[in-house]
Structure 1
Amino acid sequence: MLDSDLFRDVTVVQIVTPYARLRKLRGWSQEKAAEVFHTNKHAIVDIEAGRRDPGKHLIRTMDTVFGCKGRLIAYWLAR
């Protein structure tokens, strides 16, 4: 078996969270979102990838800034 055949049938799975979609709808870069939410770009990257929990304060702020009317909080609580 060739190395190139090793991963031939593997499907890449991307964890999809609403955070990136909401940011992109605003036209913001990850750097801009980090600035707005008083955090760093690496935190935004990890939150969007599902590797990091945004925490209570940040999720409330995101919900308000993105105008989600509690839906982002409900999503976060359901996880």
Structure 2
Amino acid sequence: SGYSGNPVVEWVKESHEITRSIILEVVEKAGKGFNVVKKRWVVERTFSWLINYRRHSKDYEVLTRNSEAMIHIAMLHILVKRVA
């Protein structure tokens, strides 16, 4: 639910042509305490893979597009390692 703000919704609408299709789903908190959220592990796992790269441990990049490019490179590296 941390991504439920209007800036994220506007970004998804603007970048729809670039990303082909994004479905923004806001999951409401169900009850008190810890609850398992469907497919959250996919996002958490991907973040942990990215953090393993030293370049992503801190915000070294000046421009956002450079940071995005480094994320693409890291994910391509992960993909190539898994295929090979």
Whether TM-score is above 0.5 comes out as no
TM-score, reference length from structure 1: 0.29
TM-score, reference length from structure 2: 0.28
Select the structure with the greater relative contact order (CA < 8 A; seq sep ≥ 6).
Answer: 1
